[in-house]
Each structure stands twice: as structure tokens, then as C-alpha cells.
Amino acid sequence: MFTGIITDVGEVRRVVRAKATDDTRFEIATRFDMETVPIGASIACCGVCLTVVAKDAGWFAVQASDETLSKTTLGGWREGRAVNLERALKFGDELGGHIVSGHVDGVARVVSIRPENESKRFIFEVPEALKRFVAPKGSVALDGVSLTVNEVEGGRFGVNIISHTQSETNFGRLAEGDAVNMEIDMLARYVARLMEKD
């Protein structure tokens, strides 16, 4: 489990596509103290919960299956890409964002970005199947960042990104048309399930 509070922005330093399988290995540069991260630990990489399979000072490697590549933005990752990173939540840690599982539900796209005072207003478009889970003042995780939804109109919703979030995540580098991993709020998922008619 994660909180959606990014603690490092890493960078893809190597991508290795396996010939025998559909898996892809990503090596990610990080400021994390890798001596404190065991092999097998979970790290959210742009919101995708991945397992550390190798590491050394200043970097770690994860492996993504073909399913993960097809359902997230990872299939398009190249060397140099900025990656929002968060280590798994420990008991007793502060829950600063909201509960995030690291299981991506789909890919949203940036429709527009405009300045709004010292913030930026991002408008995202979501897949048809996910729009019913997005509500004003509800939570959503985009590229692993816990955000509050401002407004919803059909399959589009807006969020405000403050200057701190722009500088401490990959949101400062996003442009119109870019894709982001989206995880809907866990509570919204269960409420929608309860509301379904048999």
C-alpha cells in the first residue's frame, strides 16, 4: 500500500526487453538509500506497484509483464523518462494522501494545462469505463500522485497542481496529450459495486 505522496523523482536509465518472454526490465536511478531497500520490496513507479529485482547504490531494477506494459504507460517508457517514486507504506507512517494500492485502473490523458494563480489547472480525459468513479472533491491517483478532483464534466475532470507538486513530481514536465497512469479511489470502487443492481 502507498499514500500517493511522492518521495523521489527517479529516471529510467536502462530498458531491457526480454527476447524469450514479453517481460521488460527497467533500471531506475534514484536518490533512495538502496541499502534500506531489500530485494523483493515494492516501489510505486508512476503509480504502478513493482518489485525490486536488483539494486545497487543509486539505482534499482524492476520487471514488468506484458500485461502491465499494455495496461499502463510503461510500454512507452524510454531512457531518460522521469518516474514518480514512492516506497511502500509502513505501519505508523503518516497517511498524507489517500490509500493507494499501486494497481492501475487505466490511462488518462492531459487535455489542457492552464495557469491559475500560482497553481496550474490540469484537465484530464478518462476511459469511458472509469468516469463513473470520479467525483468532485473525491480522490484520484495520477502517475502515483494523490490528488483531489475539483470538477467533473462527462469523461473529463480537473485538478489543481500547486507549485510544490510541480517541482517535486513529474507534473512539472507534463504536456497536453501526455498519458498518465490512473488509479481510482478504493472507496469509490466499493461504493459503485454496492450500488450496482443484481
Q: Radius of gyration of the chain from Cα atoms?
A: 17
Lowest mean pLDDT among 12-16, 17-21, 66-70, 71-75: 17-21
Residue 99 confidence (pLDDT): 80
Residue (of 128, 122, 184, 123) closest to 156 by Cα position: 123
For 120, the grid coordinates are: 496550474
Average pLDDT over the chain reads 91
Q: What pLDDT, in 10s, does the model give residues 76-94?
A: 999 999 999 999 987 666 6
Can you spell out the DSSP letters for 124-142? EE--GGGGGG--TT-EEEE
Residue 185 confidence (pLDDT): 82
In sequence order, the β-bridge partners of residue 124 are 110, 157
Residue 124 confidence (pLDDT): 98
Q: Model-level pTM? A: 0.91
With the C-alpha atoms ordered 3, 52, 143, 167, is the resulting torsion angle positive or negative? positive
Contact 182, 166 (CB under 8 A): no
Evaluate whether 8-87 and 106-195 have a shared fold.
yes
Residue (of 13, 114, 26) closest to 69 by Cα position: 26
Q: What percent of the chain has pLDDT over 70?
A: 90
Residue 56 confidence (pLDDT): 97
Q: Which CATH architecture has domain 8-87?
A: Beta Barrel (2.40)
* Stretch 96-123: mean pLDDT: 92
Domain ranges of the chain: 8-87, 106-195
Residue 192 pLDDT level (bands cut at 50, 70, 90): low
Q: What pLDDT, in 10s, does the model give residues 36-77?
A: 999 999 999 999 999 999 999 999 999 999 999 999 999 999
Contact 45, 84 (CB under 8 A): yes
Residue 89 confidence (pLDDT): 81
When the candidates are 3.40.1400.10, 3.40.630.30, 2.40.30.20, 3.30.565.10, the CATH number that belongs to 106-195 is 2.40.30.20
Instruction: Inform me whether the pLDDT recorded for 96 exceeds 90.
Output: no
